[in-house]
Amino acid sequence: MGAEVAKDRATLQNSSIIDARTLENSHKRLAEVIKPGMTVLDVGCGTGAITSGIAEVVGPRGRVIGIDNNQDLILKARHLYKDNPIISFEIGDIYQLPYQNEFDIVTSARVLQWLSRPKAALQQMVQAVKNNGSVLILDYNHTKISWEPEIPKTMQDFYDDFLRWRSDAGMDNEIADHLPDMFSELGLSDIKTTKQSEYTKHTDTNFQTQITIWADVAAIKGIQMVNDGFISEGQRSQAEKDFRKWINTSAESQTMYLLAVEGKKSKQ
C-alpha cells in the first residue's frame, strides 16, 4: 500500500477540532520545555493554533516555523497570524523538510499517526534539529482508547474497522508506544516519555467537542471507508446514529491515550 493511499486517508476535511487547540491544553509537555528566545519547528501545524502559542512563549528573540502539506490549512494559518512577525507558515512535506541543524526544538503533534513511514519522517526531524536540541513528538495509541460506559456494538465494530482501514494504508495505530524505540534507533539520547492522555468527562465544558470527534469520524472518514469497500453505508450510518444517541443519553467519559516522547540530538 503506497504513501499516496495514506495521504488520501489522512486528509483533514474539517479543522474545527484543531482550531480549538492551544499550546497549554493540547501540547502540555512542549509548554513545559519551551523558553523565550528558542527557535522551534512545528511539523504538521494545521491552522497554527498551537504554533501561535509557541510564538507567544519564544517571543521576539525567538523564531517559529509551522509547516504542513495541506495548502488550505496553511493559507488559513497565514491569514489568522499575519500580524505576528515571529511566525512563518510554509507548505511542505514532512518527508522532505528543507532544514539542517536549525532548531532548538522540532515538534510534531498528532501527525505521525497518519503516516505510512513515520520513521522516515522522524529522521527528517532529527536532521532539522540542532546538536543538543530536542525532538518532541506527541501522538496516540488508538488501540488504548476507552469510553465509559461501553459504546454501542455498532460503533465498536465501526471503530475496529476504522483501525483496520488505517493499518491497511500502512499507518501505525500504536505509534505512541513505538516512538521510544524509533528515537533510540535514530540516535537520539535522553529519551523521556510523558503521559498526556486526553480525558474528558460529561461535566467538562469541552465534552461535546471531544466526544463528537468519533461521530464526525463516522460521518466523514466513514464515507471514505465505504468507498474503499471496508464497510457498507448501512453499517456506517447505523454506527453514527447509535453513537450520537449514546452521547446524548449515556456517555460519561472518554480517554484517548496520548504520549509525549522527547529525545536529544548529540553531536553527529
Ligand X SMILES: C[S@@+](CC[C@H](N)C(=O)[O-])C[C@H]1O[C@@H](n2cnc3c(N)ncnc32)[C@H](O)[C@@H]1O
Q: Which residues bind ligand X (CB under 6 A)?
A: 10, 12, 18, 21, 44-46, 50, 68-70, 73, 93-95, 109-111, 114
C-alpha cell at 99: 532544514
Q: State the residue number with the nearest CB to ligand X.
A: 44
How far is the C-alpha of 247 from the C-alpha of 128, rounded, in Å? 43
- Which amino acid, one-letter code, is at 165? W
Work out how close the CB of 68 gets to ligand X at its nearest, in angstroms, rounded to a whole number.
5
How far is the C-alpha of 106 from the C-alpha of 160, rounded, in Å? 32
Work out how close the CB of 6 gets to ligand X at its nearest, in angstroms, rounded to a whole number.
8
Work out how close the CB of 51 gets to ligand X at its nearest, in angstroms, rounded to a whole number.
8
Q: Please say which residue, 69 or 235, places its beta carbon nearer to ligand X.
A: 69
| Residue ranges in the chain assigned as alpha helix (H) | 3-10, 16-19, 23-26, 28-33, 49-58, 71-80, 118-128, 153-168, 175-185, 207-219, 221-227, 233-249
Q: Please say which residue, 73 or 218, places its beta carbon nearer to ligand X.
A: 73
Work out how close the CB of 78 gets to ligand X at its nearest, in angstroms, rounded to a whole number.
14
Report the phi/psi class of residue 69: left, alpha or beta, with left for phi > 0 and alpha for psi in -120 to 50.
Answer: alpha
User: What order of strands is seen across the sheet that includes strand 253-256?
Assistant: 146-148, 253-256, 198-201
Q: Please say which residue, 171 or 188, places its beta carbon nearer to ligand X.
A: 171
Work out how close the CB of 14 gets to ligand X at its nearest, in angstroms, rounded to a whole number.
11
Q: Please say which residue, 12 or 33, places its beta carbon nearer to ligand X.
A: 12
Q: Please say which residue, 44 or 133, places its beta carbon nearer to ligand X.
A: 44
The DSSP output letter for 204 is S
Q: Please say which residue, 9 or 246, places its beta carbon nearer to ligand X.
A: 9
C-alpha cell at 177: 508506544
Exposed / middle / buried, residue 66 (Cβ in 10 Å: 0-12, 13-18, 19+): buried
Work out how close the CB of 202 gets to ligand X at its nearest, in angstroms, rounded to a whole number.
23
